[in-house]
Structure 1
Amino acid sequence: MATARTANPTSVMGLNKPANGQLKGQPKPANLQSIPSAAAQQPAGPQKGSNFSLFCTSQDVTSTKGNEFEDYCLKRELLMGIFEMGWEKPSPVQEESIPIALSGRDILARAKNGTGKSGAYLIPLLERIDLKKDHIQAIVMVPTRELALQMSQISIQLSKHLGGVKVMATTGGTNLRDDIMRLDETVHVIIATPGRILDLVKKGVAKVDKTQMMVMDEADKLLSQDFVILIEEIISFLPKDRQILLYSATFPVSVQKFMAKHLKKPYEINLMEELTLKGITQYYAYVTERQKVHCLNTLFSRLQINQSIIFCNSTQRVELLAKKITQLGYSCFYIHAKMMQEYRNRVFHDFRNGLCRNLVCTDLFTRGIDIQAVNVVINFDFPKSAETYLHRIGRSGRFGHLGLAINLITSEDRFNLKGIEEQLVTDIKPIPSSIDKSLYVAEFHSVDPDDDGGDGEAKQKELGAA
């Protein structure tokens, strides 16, 4: 995985499918025609030796009250971790959430993906950890393993100067014995998927009777039919005076019912009325099923892509499309729920570190995954619901960076397209003959390939390949 391309294109071309989701191909010239129903754009790929820096931001992270992190009387050591993360000032959801969470009040927060929700709850959570107590003081519930690993990484980075905050991630699909041994030692914060933490609680290994705070990230998913029974059971083991914080971009009826049952006079934060899709430009290309791969090839050659995520509606189509992309000569990873966990972890880690430009996936990857380099999302298969659409395109435009969402629409999708536009009160326009780069890419600058410890050359080759 040191390089993003293979030396011999004929030897791999995706014909022998690897189990680890990492397909690589050799770039080759293509005789491109125009995108169906849209005129061709001029090629605008980055040059070798250049890298992108996405500086432009949208109002969902810039329209703040002007507060500083120092205003919340946080520990100096926690402030050091915050600033080392590169978080200079709180975003709107952090401004609303941090002081209320520090007061101990329940919160129901609705904000767009990528606007700082994780910091909105992790900062007050870590501030309230008492190192003199050796029991579990906070639980963060998330719906996927990838999100659990991501949140634990952020927590560890934020708390590294706090002098001993112990953070543990536990998810299904990993060794239960390792978790049991880990809980023999002190753990202050557990970040978990519902099934695994409930198993540990029932076994008496994870003692949560003194846990003062429970956070539910992507609460709409956690309170869906897949998880809600588990969540209810977990709450039954918590003390009655616990604090519950709910965060999500969408709040269906299930969340309202849960709030009425378990939250005590929650403070409600709603930053979504005008900010749902800010910073993300949305287009559709009207195609037949047989034209989709050709259309995707055209997009790759015309767009200035930093990294892209391409969504399909089934695991089988994910693997087939990843093979096709490789055959077209572009490096490509894929990820879906049926892959072994160790391979999913490797793909996620390598894609996040920029070892590949394109990732094909199912909706596994729509929940809270934060990869700021992603500036283009393509719905190869159009989603059925507005909620899924919102979470998918939210993978671009992270923390106010500009993003581009392109939807490949067949005749069967046209009613879904109209319905999603109406539900989200948004306008998905036909793809134009030329897409203004300023809508989804900021200025780019040259990078010294030796600055990153030796991986720079490989990354620059990858960035210059499409």
Structure 2
Amino acid sequence: MTQASFSSLNALPPEQLSNLEALGYHTMTPVQAASLPAILAGSDVRAQAKTGSGKTAAFGLGVLARMDASRFSTQSLILCPTRELADQVANALRRLARHLPNVKVLTLCGGQPFNIQRDSLAHAPHIIVATPGRLLEHLAKGTVKLDELQTLVLDEADRMLDMGFSDDIDEVIRFSPQHRQTLLFSATWPAAIAAVSERVQRNPVTIDIDSVEALPAVEQRFFEVAGREKISLLQTLLSERQPASCVVFCNTRKACQEVCDALNASEQSALALHGDMEQRDRDQTLVRFANGSSRVLVATDVAARGLDIKALEMVINFELAWEPQVHVHRIGRTARAGEQGLAVSFCAPEEISRANALVDMLKLDIDWQTPPARRIVKPLEAEMATLCIDGGKKAKMRPGDVLGALTGDVGLSAADIGKIDVYPVHVYVAVRQALARKAYKQLQQGKIKGKSCRVRFLS
């Protein structure tokens, strides 16, 4: 099937089309092709589409097309369930808005100082990307005004309901103008989401991209294994395949931490991501996994929403998901943008009813495989290590400043340096493991932009 180009959308100006081309957006994904005409026409849209399908660009282009950058008022609001997803969406919007001068995109999430956010709101942002709880604090104190809101986006709406934000969404609606465009995106479509749509949208255009037939190519392998043998099987599979990146899904925070601890005890580098963690620890975990400082992330479903890993080799369901839709969402993470992926699922005897539900939904015959014989566990070492440098955006620190310090004063080659992530008060930089200690010591003794900086070695 021929994919439509963005130039077929007459509502997008030439400057935006040039920007999309520069960003590598050459043709529209299915969700973009299905939803953008209605979004650009001003209609309400409710769309079911999984993470990684291109929905952020779909609603982002609609938001920017309606925005008047000369008016300093909040014209669009995007609600997200987690800070990680909010940061990801905000960064994507800033890239999409590069052709527009002086566009202000602001994230409002918990775990960040309220006073700093309040000061940033002294001049109203054009676009706010927020989690519901922190946004309501600002609305209650009058630091955010939605009087001129044109577009409201509910992103990952199903996860917001899972996290108990239903009443918060209704409260945000109370502060919003009645005549607005409301866009609702959800990876799954339980009855509760349909009820939200009925409450907050007007005659929405309904789009369903996440049908079983539309799933990307994912090789699935199922193993029936007793619960007490799952750790051993996991270690064996990781030893055999040696994946560069793998997410292991668990259903509970307790199981998540136990699995992570067992992997690290066998020198298979792993990080845990779950709801009991402080926000700073969650940020650092996501950065370290994304930049290759750990090859395995053990996560719960709620915590993993907003995870943006473009080349995830493997997904392992350590425990089968409670709902078939969640299983579909999990396995789709390892086959983004047409890439092949591998999804492995462990099924204990007490989980067989969940496996049967998957058979009914996916309409496939599960080929139960015999678990491989247990072998000596091979270490799974990370290629990179992460250094945390105090400074960040508040200190006007840029990736080039850190790269210059590492290649100049420290003497590393550019090939030894990985991702550089700039946060408000920190910069995280990935350096090859063999050279990380050297870089750490040299940066402690040197300067960046003429200033001494505190440096920490994270892994």
The normalised TM-score by structure 2 is 0.78
Give the match for residue 305 of structure 2: 367
Q: Contact 1:366–1:391 at 8 Å: present in 2 too?
A: no
Q: How many residues align?
A: 385
Give the match for residue 29 of structure 1: none
* C-alpha distance 451-75 of structure 1, shift in aligned 2 (>3 A): farther
CA shift, 1:245, in A, is 0.6
Post-superposition CA distance 1:129-154 (Å, at most 9, x none): 21111010101111111111111111
Structure 1 alignment gaps of length 5 or more: 1-62, 435-448
* C-alpha distance 286-249 of structure 1, shift in aligned 2 (>3 A): same
The structure showing larger relative contact order (alpha-carbon pairs under 8 Å, at least 6 residues apart) is: 1
Q: Contact 2:223–2:368 at 8 Å: present in 1 too?
A: yes
Aligned CA RMSD, in angstroms, stands at 2.4
Letter of the aligned partner of 1:412 in structure 2? Answer: E
| Structure (1 or 2) with the greater helix fraction | 2
1:119 matched to 2:57? The reply is: yes
The correspondence of residues 134-213 of structure 1 with structure 2, limited to 5 A, is: 134-213=72-151
Post-superposition CA distance 1:206-229 (Å, at most 9, x none): 100110001111122234571111
> What is the alpha-carbon distance in structure 2 between the residues aligned to residue 223 and residue 107 of structure 1?
18
> What is the alpha-carbon distance in structure 1 between the residues aligned to residue 224 and residue 127 of structure 2?
48
1:288 matched to 2:226? The reply is: yes
Give the match for residue 412 of structure 1: 350
* C-alpha distance 138-458 of structure 1, shift in aligned 2 (>3 A): same
CA shift, 1:460, in A, is 9.0
> What is the alpha-carbon distance in structure 2 between the residues aligned to residue 254 and residue 138 of structure 1?
24
Q: Contact 1:307–1:357 at 8 Å: present in 2 too?
A: yes
Post-superposition CA distance 1:282-313 (Å, at most 9, x none): 22111112211211121112225231001122
> What is the alpha-carbon distance in structure 2 between the residues aligned to residue 205 and residue 426 of structure 1?
53
The correspondence of residues 216-365 of structure 1 with structure 2, limited to 5 A, is: 216-224=154-162, 226-275=164-213, 277-303=215-241, 305-365=243-303
Q: Contact 2:275–2:303 at 8 Å: present in 1 too?
A: no
Q: Contact 1:94–1:119 at 8 Å: present in 2 too?
A: yes
* C-alpha distance 93-432 of structure 1, shift in aligned 2 (>3 A): farther
1:454 matched to 2:417? The reply is: yes
Q: Contact 2:223–2:370 at 8 Å: present in 1 too?
A: no
Larger CA deviation: 175-184 vs 450-459: 450-459
> What is the alpha-carbon distance in structure 2 between the residues aligned to residue 426 and residue 202 of structure 1?
51
Q: Contact 1:309–1:377 at 8 Å: present in 2 too?
A: yes
Look up the SS of the partner of 2:313 in the other structure. Answer: strand
Post-superposition CA distance 1:197-244 (Å, at most 9, x none): 122112111100110001111122234571111111111111111000
CA shift, 1:427, in A, is 4.3
> What is the alpha-carbon distance in structure 2 between the residues aligned to residue 230 and residue 311 of structure 1?
28
Larger CA deviation: 294-303 vs 223-232: 223-232
Q: Contact 1:311–1:360 at 8 Å: present in 2 too?
A: yes
Q: Contact 1:93–1:120 at 8 Å: present in 2 too?
A: yes
Give the match for residue 431 of structure 1: 369
Q: Contact 2:218–2:335 at 8 Å: present in 1 too?
A: yes
* C-alpha distance 222-276 of structure 1, shift in aligned 2 (>3 A): farther
Q: Contact 2:69–2:100 at 8 Å: present in 1 too?
A: no
* C-alpha distance 369-81 of structure 1, shift in aligned 2 (>3 A): farther
Structure 2 alignment gaps of length 5 or more: 373-411, 420-429, 436-459
CA shift, 1:417, in A, is 0.9
CA shift, 1:188, in A, is 0.6
> What is the alpha-carbon distance in structure 1 between the residues aligned to residue 57 and residue 291 of structure 2?
21
Q: Contact 1:309–1:358 at 8 Å: present in 2 too?
A: yes
Give the match for residue 444 of structure 1: none
> What is the alpha-carbon distance in structure 2 between the residues aligned to residue 354 and residue 404 of structure 1?
19
Deviant stretches of 4+, over 6 Å: none
Larger CA deviation: 284-293 vs 391-400: 391-400
Give the match for residue 68 of structure 1: 5
> What is the alpha-carbon distance in structure 2 between the residues aligned to residue 146 and residue 455 of structure 1?
20
CA shift, 1:364, in A, is 2.5
Look up the SS of the partner of 2:417 in the other structure. Answer: coil
Look up the SS of the partner of 2:294 in the other structure. Answer: coil
* C-alpha distance 181-426 of structure 1, shift in aligned 2 (>3 A): farther
Post-superposition CA distance 1:20-51 (Å, at most 9, x none): xxxxxxxxxxxxxxxxxxxxxxxxxxxxxxxx
Give the match for residue 88 of structure 1: 26
* C-alpha distance 110-427 of structure 1, shift in aligned 2 (>3 A): farther
User: Structure 1 vs Structure 2: percent identity of aligned residues?
Assistant: 32
